Amino acid sequence: MKRTGTTHRGATPAPPRKQAGTTPDRWDLSHLLKRPQHDLERLLADMDRRVRRFEACREHLRPDLPPQTFLGLLQQLEAMAAETAKLGAYAYLWFSENTKNAHARALKATVEERLTGLQNRLLFFDLWWQSVDDANAARLLDAAGDFRYYLESIRRFKAYTLSEPEEKIINLKTVTGRSAVNTLYDVLTNGFTFTLTVNGKPKALSREQLAAYLRHPKPQVREAAYRELYRVFDAHHDVLGEIYATIVKDWKGENLELRKYASPMTVRNVGNDIPDQATSALLAVCADNAGIFQEYFRLKARICKITPMNRFHIYAPHPADRKRYRYADAVQMVLDAYRAFSPQLGDLARRVFDERHIDARTRPGKLSGAYCYSVVPGFTPYVLLNYTGEARDVATLAHELGHAVHGLMAERHTVFTFHSTLPLAETASVFGERILSDALTAQEHHRSVKQGLLLAQLDDIYATVLRQAYFVLFEQRAHDMIAHGATAEDLAAAYQANLREQFGKAVPVPAIFRWEWLTIPHIFASPFYCYAYSFGNLLVLALYHMYKQQGQAFVPQYLALLAAGGSQSPDSILADVGVNMRDKAFWQSGFDTIKGMVEELDRTMD
């Protein structure tokens, strides 16, 4: 998933010094703020002065503004955006270290509130830019250089923008409304403790620690881990269901009733600059190809001797896949794979470790999952993991480093245009996983090991393509149901139906999985975000096929795609590599590749 000194009470402790021959696994946030409480107030005061100077320009804004004056204003905005990005990053990263840390939560809330106030004072510029007539807008766009797509994006929202007072109110209420409710979800769920009996002894586990047992070699342990996960979430389903309903109602009230978007998902599509037709085609093709994964799970049941197969066991490890990986070894494996594909990408990935911008180990209270936070152009991104030594953790490391090198490749763009749009944001991360998988497969010649690698790849592809698409299909249904008064129990029943459609007769789904939707942070924090994973993974399967055909001749094209960042529309960037995102045949080509992998797995059983 992609995200945006002296020790004293409430500050991040200085990390331990790196020892010779070790791989750092705690990040150093002092590169953002050296003395958090002192620097925070100083930087906010400086930002206030900058904003006041910019506000003085308001009365001089007019459609016939000289291009150089216009460019100067954009550069002022960029400088302010860079400083606020660093403050926002520090607040979120420190909170991520320990969501139970009251000082970190308080600082995060303060930063969000203060920055929202500053952003509200700058809102007039966006609204003025939307009001400029098309002829003058075209004239100024021609002189905007790398700011062009950023400016085009502002005008893309013209039809959905409210008056300045209304926009200010919404910005303020989001901090204490939707954003605060989602923070409550994070604090509550990351504080859950799970109890699992292992080797006859009960163990108290965090969610990340429990997750390791979902892929345990013993089926009874996998089932017990799933039952404990959903037992705890079920026990809180009233509160979590209310949180979700509140977020969905807020989404509807703001975006459909006030801004007049055509549908809840159109909001995400417009933000991503992706036409509704493209996401409709993507989701339809995903649903049409659910049978490929149903066949895969039938094969996996035979290979792994799972009787009977059901939803508890879809991530069961292959008998040959029980190896644990030391963190330092995992780092070296991933860096070697990146460097073999492109020395440039290998060097960029290495920077994350050299500059101590990674927090790898799982700890109580730490934010679950993994993410990469690209802050500003040229600044090495931060990466959060919850590393436990499983093979999938090595793949996650490759994934998040892909996000990091994507941000670093785009460092020549402005702070507004170096972040890729969401559907392309997963391109480098998923491509990084494919590079790693290909490298590991090439090193193995034993049939059983190759079989295990194929299973691992297909498990990951299922989780990041079909599973994510069905999350979005559920969200579409859930937003409609909540608008008509659905309860958490109603949503659970709809989610169970979603799972049964997805798995068919190949994988029976026990009733306890009806609460799985409560465990998915993205549907709370970022409605309809998840189609970006399906989009990115199917896109990468097509790009990787091109790489296998073209060899090293493909590498410069791929690096150019990454270097574009978010400086052009997704349509334009993908057109350069021959992709039409509205074409069902393109998405089907990705599933054809997956089908070929399933057939290859079938042949290993001969």
> Do 285 and 361 belong together in one domain?
no
**Number of domains forming the structure of the chain:** 3
| Confidence category of residue 21, pLDDT binned at 50, 70, 90 | very low
| CATH at residue 145 | 1.20.140.70
The mean pLDDT of the chain is 91
Concatenated DSSP letters for 491-532?
HHHHHHHHHHHHHTTTS---GGGGGGGGG-HHHHHSTTTTHH
> Do 294 and 371 belong together in one domain?
no
> Do 62 and 135 belong together in one domain?
yes
pLDDT per residue over 204-222, tens digit each? 999 989 998 999 999 999 9
> Do 327 and 273 belong together in one domain?
no
> What pLDDT is attached to residue 22?
56
> What pLDDT is attached to residue 441?
76
Question: 423 in a domain, yes or no?
Answer: yes
Characterize 431-452 residue by residue with b for buried, 16 or more Cβ atoms within 10 angstroms of its Cβ, and e for exposed. Answer: bbbbbbbbbbeeeeeeeebbbb
> Do 302 and 350 belong together in one domain?
no
Last residue of a domain, one of 362, 397, 431: 431
pLDDT for 7 beyond 80:
no
> Do 63 and 136 belong together in one domain?
yes
For the record, the structure tokens of 175 come out as 């901090």
pLDDT per residue over 113-172, tens digit each? 999 999 999 999 999 999 999 999 999 999 999 999 999 999 999 999 999 999 999 988
Question: 62 in a domain, yes or no?
Answer: yes
| In contact, 373 and 92? CB cutoff 8 Å | yes
| 260: region left, alpha or beta (phi > 0 left; psi from -120 to 50 alpha) | left
For the record, the structure tokens of 331 come out as 């780092």
pLDDT per residue over 370-423, tens digit each? 999 999 999 999 999 999 988 788 989 999 999 999 999 999 999 999 999 878
> Do 332 and 468 belong together in one domain?
no
> Do 401 and 453 belong together in one domain?
no
Question: 411 in a domain, yes or no?
Answer: yes
pLDDT for 13 beyond 50:
no
Q: Residue 44 phi/psi, 5° resolution?
A: -65, -40
> What pLDDT is attached to residue 403?
96
Question: 541 in a domain, yes or no?
Answer: yes
> Do 459 and 475 belong together in one domain?
yes
Last residue of a domain, one of 161, 176, 191: 176
> What pLDDT is attached to residue 128?
97
CA distances from 271 to 103, 154, 221 (A): 33, 10, 42
Question: 76 in a domain, yes or no?
Answer: yes
Rg of the chain (C-alpha set): 24
**Average pLDDT of the segment spanning 179-197:** 94
Question: 15 in a domain, yes or no?
Answer: no
More confident residue, 290 or 319: 290
> Do 122 and 101 belong together in one domain?
yes
> Do 370 and 477 belong together in one domain?
no
Concatenated DSSP letters for 158-169?
GGG---HHHHHH
Write out the residue range of the structural domain in which residue 339 sits: 322-431
> What pLDDT is attached to residue 69?
96
